[in-house]
Amino acid sequence: MLRNFVRHALLPSGETFKPNSFSARCTRQGVPHDDAQAFAWFRKAAEQGNAQAQFNLGVMYGLGQGVPHDDTQAVAWFLKAAEQGNAYAQTNLGVMYKDGRGVAPDDARAVAWYSKAAEQKDAVAQYGLGVMYREGRGVAQDDAEAAQWFRKAAEQGNLTPNLISASCTRKAGALRKTTQKRSNGTARLLSRETPTAQSSLGFMYAEGRGVRRDYTQAVAWFRKAADQGNGNAQCNLGLAYRYGQAVARDDAQAVAWFRKAADQGHDGAQEELRKMEASGLVK
């Protein structure tokens, strides 16, 4: 998923817009929200070499905002911005190469662009790089490197292993699609990526992948992510309470966390609730 340009568009003074402030700011100044006009002005700046405007054009092409959707054009503008060192554009190029959007799929190039942005402390890129190392895509598979990058991303946010992995990670793709639909197709923001990395780091501790197995650390990271609404982490925290993994067994807490995840459409959590209902543990 691409990130929303509104979060990163810059005012002339260098001030950064906060999420959802673009339309409000313009409305206060008597200028109605108009994606086509925004595109036109960003293009003028982009053609003069402004990297932030080039990045914004890439996002608008990638999302079809103010212009017909065109991934090839999105890649072209991301590349211009990325070559000037724009970390957000570098991250989005990583996404485009990983997913084969507007370019032929190329995991090695995805890793290269993720790496450039990750070194600039971009949490989305750090998480993406961790995934590539965990899955051995574009790099040699390396759980230790994966855990390292997950940690870097996770720290920017302020069970038996088989039970955890089977129930609460297999439906991650479905959960991400639900999140995408609810966000109206807007791009993934940093605030969402950090708890995802925290949840992934918890999983690495639970599985002992790249780090020494440590259920206390696993639960701690799951809790950080769960408190921020991450469905996988909420499901895993529910399992920790259900089976007394690094916390005192507590069916009421297990049900509460399963319900939070289930309310987001998380199939694993819904399945766990059905099991507890069948056992008479859900009131």
pLDDT in tens, the chain (283 residues): 433 332 222 222 232 222 222 333 333 445 577 889 999 999 999 999 999 999 999 999 998 989 999 999 999 999 999 999 999 999 999 999 999 999 999 999 999 999 999 999 999 899 999 999 999 999 999 999 999 999 999 988 642 322 333 345 433 332 222 233 333 332 333 344 578 888 888 888 888 898 999 999 999 989 998 998 989 999 999 999 998 989 999 999 999 999 999 999 999 899 999 998 898 888 7
Q: Which long-range contacts (CB under 8 A, 24 or more apart) does 103-107 make?
A: 103/72, 103/75, 106/138, 107/132, 107/137, 107/138, 107/139
Of 62, 81, 106, which residue is a domain's last? 106
Is residue 28 domain-resident? Answer: yes
* 87 φ, ψ (degrees, to nearest 5): -65, -35
Q: Are residues 173 and 92 in the same domain?
A: no
Q: Is residue 151 part of a domain?
A: no
b/e for 25-53, b at 16 or more Cβ within 10 A?
Answer: eeeeeeeeeeeeebbeebbeebeeebbbb
Is 52 part of a structural domain of the chain? Answer: yes
In a domain, 126, yes or no: no
Q: Is the pTM higher than 0.85? A: no
Q: How many domains does the chain have?
A: 2
For residues 99 and 177, state if they share a domain. Answer: no
- What CATH number has the domain bearing residue 74? 1.25.40.10
Range of the domain at 204: 161-278
